[in-house]
Amino acid sequence: MGWGPTVEPFNAYLNEKKNGATMLSIALGHAADALCYCLGEVRELSATMTVRRKSFTITGTGERKPMNADDQVLVNGLLEGGAAFSIHYRGGVSRGTNLLWEVNGTEGDLQLTAAGGQAQIFEMTVQGGKEAQSSLELLPLPEKYWWSPRQGPSTNVAQAYALFARDYREGTHLCPTFDDAVTRHRMLDAIETAAATGQRQTRGANDGNNYSRSINRQNETG
């Protein structure tokens, strides 16, 4: 939907970093949120961000404009439970699989795929295998996880409002809160800091939402 060689006129603003609608904050941010919701928060991370395309073309007009937003973001590190993770997002559309998320566990494997890299928008296909299975099989999503009618690209918004309404009526806490948003944005800030400084970022011991730079012990003493 953005950050590729060609962009629809209404999405051209995505390729200007100062507008704040970057691949890190939108596409990767939503995918990272799903990762952390399912597997736990990030304990420490390293990152690389770069602009590989120097310009892009506006669809329909042929106008070329400079690319002023990172179109490659790579993150790796450890989750709070000790599992290793890696994320690689790039702009544009792939001729292969546009969203591929694999979870390789001690008892089995999960694979989630979608037609687009926006995990919050595109419906995902889930496959899994465990124990003696030698391949993955389709795992249909149970209907109980559809809290609202399917709305196409806006299904995620409808789902969120359905949970918000349920929380309001029943006093539950199923919908994400502002505290959840702060946690995720601190992670995104840590990714930017790691990419800019080349220093691994670690969650603070006293505040699980804060990150601090990991300084090499040799540098501390010398």
Mean pLDDT of 25-38: 96
Amino acid present at 116: G
Question: Does position 139 have pLDDT exceeding 60, yes or no?
Answer: yes
Question: Does position 208 have pLDDT exceeding 60, yes or no?
Answer: no
- Beta bridge partners, 201, equal 45, 213
Question: Does position 218 have pLDDT exceeding 60, yes or no?
Answer: no
Share of the chain above pLDDT 90, in %: 82
- pLDDT tens-place string over residues 75-108: 999 999 999 999 999 999 999 999 999 999 999 9
Average pLDDT across the chain, whole number: 91
Cα 205 from Cα 161, distance rounded (Å): 35
What pLDDT is stored for residue 170 in this prediction? 96
63 or 153, which is more confident? 63
45: nearest Cα among 219, 205, 192, 217: 192
Mean pLDDT of 59-71: 96
Classified as helix, coil or strand, 50 is strand
165 sits in which H/E element? helix 155-170
Question: Does position 205 have pLDDT exceeding 60, yes or no?
Answer: no
Cα 103 from Cα 39, distance rounded (Å): 9
Classified as helix, coil or strand, 70 is coil
- pLDDT tens-place string over residues 140-150: 989 998 989 98
Reported confidence tier of residue 220, pLDDT bands at 50, 70, 90? very low
